[in-house]
């Protein structure tokens, strides 16, 4: 009886709360990148699925490759559903590998993810590097926004596990700025860019053969990339495969969204239902297709499960994975 009563009053109460309000979706990266694109896509369609049809705006909060935004969500943001985080997929696992993280991803109310990801290491066509094997002998400079970005983590992991010669240069404000640096010849490429992002936002690079793909970083090989080797093909031991699994698992979360810790469970459930309905909305799917943004969503419960599974790994494996992600001191 209590459950029925709760279900009966929640929509009206939610409509009263959200009507006339603004919801802000924060991204931890700069304007123009893929996280920003997905956040704005969701923001245009999510209001139809929230009782009261609130307005939604997107605001960038770049800094420390997404850590600043997650810290804000944990410690400052309102806990009432009016603030949503569009997190970078690797950042929720920072507390496992970064001592001074100021948030706990297990406490967030995860709404779901817009799609899964396959990351690739790619090099500009003018570089002498043609395959991943060349990196055992030649140095390749890759750009990134910060140490918790996949563009930094993946080349460091591959270096530490297999002895390749990526050189990671940090300090770029976001993906768009890093891409400009590639075209200018400041860096050779990126190791951690999403394949879907390349298709959606850098189609001319693929059509004009301006880049070469060296390796893909995901739990499963992408059927669209049959000729690009998997990073798991490089592994020789079970321990190496465990470490790669630790870093590849976040790719299944792709583009995750969450409300801050402390948000009431019933409001988390409402926002989760709204997000999942949005990702199945024909209008969103049609717009995503025009934008060449892949939509292959998973629900909030699955995102929560993925996070909890990685947080439950043996401490020894996590420690080695953390060490592998670090560049030279």
Examine residue 266 and state whether it is found in any structural domain, yes or no: yes
Examine residue 89 and state whether it is found in any structural domain, yes or no: yes
Q: Extract the residue ranges of the chain whose pLDDT is less than 70.
A: 1-15, 99, 329
Count up the domains in the chain and report the number: 2
Question: Which range marks the domain in which residue 62 is found?
Answer: 2-116+253-321
Residue 244 shares a structural domain with residue 177: yes
> What does the pLDDT read at residue 94?
85
Residue 64 shares a structural domain with residue 14: yes
Task: Dump pLDDT digits (tens) for 267-280.
Answer: 999 999 999 999 99
Task: Dump pLDDT digits (tens) for 133-175.
Answer: 999 999 999 999 888 788 999 999 999 999 999 999 998 988 8
The answer to whether 29 and 90 are in contact (CB under 8 A) is no
Which among 216, 246, 252, 245 is positioned nearest to 113, based on CA atoms? 252
Q: In the chain, which ranges are E strands? A: 22-27, 55-60, 83-86, 109-113, 119-124, 140-143, 166-169, 189-194, 211-217, 256-259, 298-299
Residue 183 shares a structural domain with residue 142: yes
Residue 177 shares a structural domain with residue 244: yes
Residue 130 shares a structural domain with residue 104: no
CA distances from 269 to 47, 53, 263 (A): 16, 17, 10
Phi, psi dihedrals of residue 217, rounded to the nearest 5°: -120, 95
Residue 88 shares a structural domain with residue 179: no
Query: Given 188, 219, 250, which residue is the final one in a domain?
Result: 250
> Is residue 143 classed as helix, strand or coil in its secondary structure?
strand
For the record, the structure tokens of 300 come out as: 């909030």
> What does the pLDDT read at residue 113?
96
Examine residue 327 and state whether it is found in any structural domain, yes or no: no
> What does the pLDDT read at residue 12?
64
> What does the pLDDT read at residue 63?
79
């Amino acid at each position: 009886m209590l459950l029925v009563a709760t279900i009966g009053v929640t929509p009206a109460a939610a409509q009263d709360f959200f009507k006339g309000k603004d919801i802000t979706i924060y991204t931890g990266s700069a304007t123009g990148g893929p996280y920003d694109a997905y956040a704005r896509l969701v923001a245009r369609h999510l209001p139809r699925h929230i009782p009261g049809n609130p307005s939604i705006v997107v605001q960038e909060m770049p800094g420390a490759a997404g850590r600043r935004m997650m810290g804000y969500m944990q410690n400052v943001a309102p806990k009432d559903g009016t603030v949503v985080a569009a997190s970078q997929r690797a950042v929720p696992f920072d507390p496992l590998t970064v001592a001074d993280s100021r948030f706990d991803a297990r406490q967030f109310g995860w709404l779901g993810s817009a799609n899964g990801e396959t990351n690739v290491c790619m090099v500009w066509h003018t570089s002498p590097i043609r395959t991943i094997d060349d990196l055992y002998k030649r140095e390749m400079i890759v750009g990134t926004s910060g140490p918790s970005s996949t563009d930094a983590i993946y080349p460091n992991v591959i270096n530490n596990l297999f002895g390749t010669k990526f050189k990671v240069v940090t300090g770029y404000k976001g993906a768009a700025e890093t891409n400009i640096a590639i075209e200018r010849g400041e860096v050779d490429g990126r190791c951690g860019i999403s394949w879907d992002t390349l298709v959606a936002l850098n189609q001319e690079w693929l059509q004009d053969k301006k880049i070469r793909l060296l390796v893909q970083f995901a739990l499963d090989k992408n059927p669209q990339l049959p000729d690009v080797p998997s990073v798991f093909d490089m592994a020789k031991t079970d321990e190496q495969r465990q470490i790669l699994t630790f870093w590849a698992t976040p790719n299944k979360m792709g583009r995750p969204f969450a409300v801050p810790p402390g948000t009431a469970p019933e409001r988390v459930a409402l926002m989760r239902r709204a997000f999942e309905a949005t990702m199945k909305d024909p209008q969103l799917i049609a717009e995503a297709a025009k934008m060449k943004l892949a939509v292959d969503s998973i629900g909030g419960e699955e995102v929560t499960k993925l996070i909890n599974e990685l947080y439950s790994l043996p401490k020894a494996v996590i420690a080695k994975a953390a060490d592998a992600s670090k560049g030279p001191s």
